């Protein structure tokens, strides 16, 4: 599974996912001010399977159905 950590996720969490490809926001070279909608589009365009975020409001701000 290909996983990306949003900028608000501690990089240390990566050690618990050793069987997966894990990328950080910085490693993807995404703009630091990327908004949630654009971030989701970037994740999909990069062919990533999962985004890990600590943003508790994303489900209210974005339509996640069919994603």
**What are the tens digits of pLDDT across the range 40-50?**
899 999 999 99
Report angle CA 42, 29, 43 to the nearest 5 degrees: 20
Residue ranges for the chain with pLDDT beneath 50: none
Rounded Cα–Cα distance for residues 18 and 22 (Å):
8
Q: Is the pTM of this model over 0.95?
A: no
The pLDDT score that the predictor gives to residue 59 is 67
Rounded Cα–Cα distance for residues 27 and 4 (Å):
9
Output phi, psi for 22, to 5 deg.
-120, 130
Q: Whose CA is closest to 30, among 45, 47, 14, 42?
A: 42
């Amino acid at each position: 599974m290909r996983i990306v950590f949003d900028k608000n996720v501690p990089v240390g969490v990566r050690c618990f996912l050793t069987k997966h490809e894990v990328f950080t926001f910085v490693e993807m070279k995404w703009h630091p001010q990327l908004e949630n909608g654009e971030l989701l589009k970037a994740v999909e365009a990069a062919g990533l399977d999962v985004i890990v975020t600590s943003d508790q409001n994303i489900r209210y701000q974005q339509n996640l159905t069919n994603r």
